[in-house]
């Protein structure tokens, strides 16, 4: 699995993808793999009241990647609650972020693996 | 055509015995009675409701309500816009009358939630999120935690300023007989309550609630046949922001609040300085700051100072959430926006009892998702 952001012909990048680019309405035509990139923590929270199928406490971060001068944000679990705004993090693959079927959403409706964020020490 | 509001009602909010059909019928019946309108005179009947199917396996609620109230053959529709379903209901009710399609429109909002566990309710509400958010266990409270941390960091605001929103709104709620909580809380209690989404604690969040509220709309000319005193919808605006919350340029700005506010101000001819009382969607304490700034009451990053300085207290320059807000009144999803309208109606009619403030023009801002969709409504008194 790769950590794909999506780019339209006008250079706008989004994560996740959209059928039409939210900036300009063009179709997104390229993918940009963020797996080997690092990002900066914009903000984070540790949630103790987690929904069914999610381990508590659940630390979540919003991070920002810089890809050739364009920025793209992503959100996801952090591997630790020892993080701060401004920290540098890298994506780490997890084959199951949340137990499929434990929550309200139909298990087959989406994928359950993805990337957590780990501080770069 | 000016659209008038000639009646309003709300049920007791809190943990209720009845189901959605009972709650909607209770508010609907009380609203008909308050307005002096016969059920068969209702042309359009709208029900604001987010998730009766998910909460209790009951769908088709508007038709059910029409039959329960004997309001056939009224045209009915359910309005779902998540937490802003009530505000969206006001928008559609206004539209139905303003367009000349309906001479009498009743809007009833309601939700029945407390029979579910907190985790289940949180998950039903989180089902609005994008798959890339949902799979990481994102909940609406966690969005609030993420945004609160950023706001406090960006504007160097003290954590206590958030807690003061809760203290203020609980204090207001004491005088609201329909509120779920009628108990003051002190700063220490809020600051020491259990962490829910760091830095936010239990008392930064509204409760899970059952309840219903209703409003009756008609053309101003028709209103005069029923009553000498009524309220007019001066402006209403609705807008969306990104579905994926992290894609917003500045996460401390709710674009839907700014845009819907702009539309409501433009239609009404009023500006932020003309608003005498406001009901804001304080599902989380941080939201009161974001809305009071997005609606132009205060500069960006200054909303917290207004709370510190008492500007938004009931005796301040701009009372905010005289009803107790979602925070102490409770937040039955589909009912909340309608109940905001109820509070502004009562304030403008001079019928708010112990929580009455001096007001000729009032505003309510109803937020769905984490600012994903927003409705802002401005109303004024007429006699």
User: Would you call A44 and B244 a contact, using CB atoms and an 8 Å cutoff?
Assistant: no
Residue of A nearest to B123 (CA): A51
Q: Which of A81, A104, A112 sits opposite B54 (nearest CB)?
A: A104
ipTM of the complex: 0.98
- Asked if the Cβ–Cβ distance from B145 to A46 is below 8 Å, we say yes
- First-to-last CA distance in chain A? 25
Task: From chain B, pick out residues whose CB is under 8 angstroms from the CB of A48.
Answer: 194-197
Closest listed residue to residue B145, CA positions, set A65, A75, A96, A73: A75
How close, in Å, is residue A15 to chain B by CA atoms?
Answer: 8
- What would the two tokens of residue B231 be? 């309220």
**Alpha carbon separation from B44 to A12, B68, B83, B298 (Å, rounded):** 45, 15, 22, 38
Q: Which of A16, A54, A86 to mutate to test the interface with B (most CBs of B within 10 A)?
A: A54
Cβ-based contacts of B197 with chain A (< 8 Å):
45-49
Residues in chain B closer than 8 A to A43 (CB atoms):
146-147, 149-150, 153, 251
Provide, as residue numbers in chain B, all residues whose Cβ is less than 8 Å from the Cβ of A105.
127, 134
Chain A contact set for B57 (CB, 8 A): none
Q: What is the pLDDT of residues A26-60, one digit of tens each?
A: 999 999 999 999 999 999 999 999 999 999 999 99
Residue with tokens 């941080």: B286
Of residues B145, B244, B245, nearest to A45 (C-beta): B145
Å from A121 to nearest chain B CA?
Answer: 23
Alpha helices in chain B (DSSP H): 20-35, 52-56, 61-69, 85-98, 118-126, 131-134, 140-155, 159-173, 187-192, 220-226, 255-268, 285-294, 303-308, 325-329, 333-349
B304 CA: distance to closest CA in chain A (Å): 19
Contact yes or no for B98/B3 (Cβ under 8 A): yes
Could you state, in chain order, the average pLDDT of each consecutive group of 10 residues for chain B (383 residues)? 96 97 98 98 98 97 98 98 98 98 98 97 96 98 98 98 98 98 98 98 98 98 97 98 96 97 98 98 98 98 97 98 98 98 98 98 98 98 87
CB contact under 8 A, A49 and B133: no
Is pLDDT above 90 for A12? yes
- B→A contacts (Cβ < 8 Å), by residue, are 54, 118-120, 122-124, 126-127, 130-139, 141-142, 145-150, 153, 194-200, 242, 244-247, 251
3-state secondary structure (DSSP) of residue B364: strand
Residues of A with CB below 8 A from B194's CB? 48
* Cβ within 8 Å, pair A49-B139: yes
Q: How far is A100 from chain B (nearest CA, A)?
A: 9
CA closest to A97 among chain B residues: B136
Say which residue the tokens 């959209």 belong to.
A18
CA distance B375 to chain A (A): 22
pLDDT at res. B1: 82
Please give the pLDDT value at position B151: 98
Query: Measured between CB atoms, does A109 come within 8 Å of chain B?
Result: yes
Residue of B44, B33, B25 whose CA lies nearest to B8: B33
The whole-angstrom separation of Cα B72 and Cα B40 is 6
With CB atoms and an 8 Å threshold, state whether B134 touches A77.
no
Cβ–Cβ contact A101 with B under 8 A: no
CA B288 to chain centre: 12
Give the residue from B235, B213, B217, B232 showing the smallest Cα distance to B377: B235
Q: Chain B contacts of A84, Cβ < 8 Å?
A: none
Return d(Cα A58, Cα B87) in angstroms, integer: 32
Residues of B in contact with A75 (CB under 8 A): 132-133, 136, 138, 244-246
Chain A residues in contact with B113 (beta carbon < 8 A) = none
Q: Is B345 helix (H, G, I), strand (E, B) or coil?
A: helix
| Residue B205: closest C-alpha in chain A | A49
* Cα atoms in the 13 Å half-sphere on the side-chain side of B49: 31
pLDDT at A1 over 90: no
Task: Report pTM.
Answer: 0.97
The structure tokens 């539309």 sit at B263
In chain A, which residues have their Cβ closer than 8 Å to the Cβ of B138? 60, 75
Task: Name which of A45, A48, A111 is nearest B146 (Cβ-Cβ).
Answer: A45
Say if the Cβ atoms of A114 and B194 lie within 8 Å. no
Mean pLDDT value of segment A1-12: 95
Alpha-carbon distance B163 to nearest alpha carbon in chain A (angstroms): 17
Residue A68 has pLDDT above 80, yes or no: yes
């Amino acid at each position: 699995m790769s950590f794909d952001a999506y780019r339209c012909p006008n250079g706008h990048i989004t994560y996740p993808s959209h059928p039409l680019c939210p900036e300009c309405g063009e179709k997104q035509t390229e993918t940009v793999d963020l797996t080997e990139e690092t990002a900066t923590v914009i903000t984070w929270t540790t949630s103790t009241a987690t929904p069914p199928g999610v381990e508590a406490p659940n630390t979540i971060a919003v991070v920002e990647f810089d890809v050739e001068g364009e920025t793209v944000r992503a959100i996801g679990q952090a591997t630790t609650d020892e993080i701060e705004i401004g920290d540098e993090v890298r994506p780490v693959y997890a084959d199951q972020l949340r137990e499929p079927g434990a929550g309200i959403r139909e298990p087959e409706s989406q994928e359950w693996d993805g990337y957590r964020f780990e501080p770069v020490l | 055509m000016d659209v008038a509001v000639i009646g309003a009602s709300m049920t007791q909010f809190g943990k209720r015995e009845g189901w959605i059909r009972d709650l909607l019928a209770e508010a609907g019946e009380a609203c008909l009675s308050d307005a002096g309108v016969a059920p068969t005179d209702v042309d359009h009947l709208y029900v604001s409701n987010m998730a009766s199917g998910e909460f209790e396996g009951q769908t088709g609620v508007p038709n059910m309500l029409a039959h329960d109230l004997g309001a056939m053959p009224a045209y009915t529709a359910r309005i779902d816009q998540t937490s802003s379903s009530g505000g969206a209901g006001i928008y559609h009710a206004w539209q139905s009358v303003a367009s000349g399609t309906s001479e009498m429109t009743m809007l009833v909002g309601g939700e029945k939630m407390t029979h579910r566990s907190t985790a289940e309710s949180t998950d039903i509400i989180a089902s609005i999120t994008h798959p890339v958010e949902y799979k990481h266990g994102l909940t609406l409270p966690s969005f609030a935690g993420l945004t609160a941390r950023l706001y406090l960091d960006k504007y160097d605001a003290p954590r206590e300023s958030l807690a003061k929103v809760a203290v203020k709104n609980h204090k207001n709620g004491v005088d609201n007989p329909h509120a779920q909580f009628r108990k003051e809380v002190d700063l220490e209690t809020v600051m020491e309550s259990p962490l829910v989404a760091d830095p936010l604690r239990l008392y930064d969040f509204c409760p899970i609630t059952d309840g219903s509220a209703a409003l009756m709309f008609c053309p101003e000319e028709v209103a005069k046949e029923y009553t000498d005193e009524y309220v007019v919808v001066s402006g209403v605006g609705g807008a969306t922001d990104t579905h994926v919350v992290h894609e917003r340029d500045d996460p401390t700005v709710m674009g839907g609040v700014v845009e819907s506010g702009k539309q409501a101000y433009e239609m009404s001819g009023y500006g932020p300085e003309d608003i005498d009382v406001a009901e804001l969607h304080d599902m989380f304490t941080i939201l009161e700051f974001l809305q009071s700034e997005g609606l132009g009451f205060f500069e960006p990053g200054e909303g917290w100072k207004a709370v510190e300085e008492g500007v938004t207290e009931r005796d301040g320059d701009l009372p905010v959430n005289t009803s107790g807000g979602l925070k102490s009144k409770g937040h039955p999803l589909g009912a909340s926006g309608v109940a905001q309208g109820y509070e502004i109606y009562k304030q403008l009619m001079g019928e708010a009892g112990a929580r009455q403030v001096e007001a000729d023009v009032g505003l309510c801002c109803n937020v769905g998702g984490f600012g994903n969709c927003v409705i802002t409504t401005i109303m004024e008194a007429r006699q």
